[in-house]
Structure 1
């Protein structure tokens, strides 16, 4: 599938079909705007309610799929009780079988990442099944952070380097957002429905590709290359598209 980073060549998504679609949504940069630090995001007051109502309209076929920890997702989206996948699939709620996985060397890896970030004047983000170092405050440090992460992954074999927006993450090996979609699609609420996935980051591209390859479509949020056929410029437009689906209206970008 051809990657394309030209917003002009990608239309906005069609209206959701409540009787035939299954909706999978990333969180940061997709449902909510990116913030200077992970804990500084602003969640619109009505977002959990919109998600809950839309899940009912889709007969339960709506899930959140994120690199965030499950605990954080549940805290930010109190009022939405549908399926959630955190840590790129290493933990989840609403699944028929637990997905929790505790990789070997987790606490030691997290300490090394925290120490590196502190010594480098960068931000460390603790995750329940890994960690991330953000270089948004100094983009010139990207190569240094990437080199550190790859060296760390050589020593901690249960982890894989995951590039992200202005950050590098180490996540458990064998878990990914597209893998989470495979498992979610086997649940009765999702089975047989057309997969629709929305995401903004390189971490979302495998899931966007999976949706495109399995009879559905992807929605890229923001600029950048993507396999997704459709694009929306900002999380605000995605939230508008979701609200329009509740009202039974097509979203015209």
Structure 2
């Protein structure tokens, strides 16, 4: 912690010769939107990622809870590594989960029905789904209770709390697990892991980077295992742009 402010400091400049970079999407690279399909992508972002990936020798990956096909659509122009669905999907490496659990459709149907009945937002994902209560945070307890019953009935899925949402993702997959797989790729060999994220879903990955000789960057408010802090997504985008221009 900074002795004068009590806040964690901003991260040091990225080392293109020694760092490996892992970036969350929502709330990190882009601002959180009222709906998942309403995020605004800064025009320069895909090209900044592409140029920075080249500068890092390919040791850059976007690691998100989003479905992989959505990440590819939003970041058209960046052709590097991507991890979707909390580690269950991948581009640029062998997909960790080859097939969705057999009861995926039944799970999604029940989540969608509950959302329609309760006036909530259901986000369908490649290997699961999320119930969003951002429009009415008071609904959190009932969403949590419902997803707990679903997790009991559909044991192939695990509960994943998120910002103003609760998700059910394939059991056994996580963002820190994705980092374990990514760092086995040759382009990451010998590099220091740097992870940036904003959410509870990112905390295991932030802690993993800190525990493996690298560091984490927490975006936004809240306690975190990360050593460094930036206030909002525009700050991390500026940090990335500076690394490209150095």
> After superposition, where does 1:234-253 map in structure 2 within 5 Å?
234-248=232-246
Q: Aligned equivalents of 2:62 and 2:175: distance in 1? A: 10
Aligned residue in 1 for 2:96: 99
Moved over 2 A (4+): none
Q: Which residue of 2 aligns with 1:146?
A: 144
Deviation at 1:191, TM superposition (A): 1.4
Q: Is the 8 A contact 2:159 2:167 kept in 1?
A: yes
The equivalent residue for 1:41 is: 39
Q: C-alpha distance in 2, partners of 1:103/1:8?
A: 46
Distance 1:81 1:191 in 2: 20
How many positions carry a matched residue from both structures? Answer: 242
Aligned 1:200-215 pairs, distance under 5 A: 200-215=198-213
- Could you report, residue by residue, the CA deviation over 1:212-249 in whole angstroms, capped at 9, with x for unpaired residues? 0000000000001100000000000000000011122x
Distance 1:203 1:129 in 2: 16
CA distance in 2, matches of 1:213, 1:103: 32
Any idea what SS the aligned residue of 2:229 has? strand
What SS class does the counterpart of residue 34 from structure 2 fall into?
coil
Task: Please state whether the residue corresponding to 1:9 is helix, strand or coil.
Answer: coil
Q: Structure 2 stretches of 5 or more lacking a match?
A: none
- Residues 48-59 of structure 1 mapped to structure 2, 5 A cutoff: 48-59=46-57
Q: Give the Å deviation of 1:8.
A: 4.0
TM-score (norm 1): 0.94
Unaligned runs of 5+ in 1: 249-253
Aligned to 2:26: 28
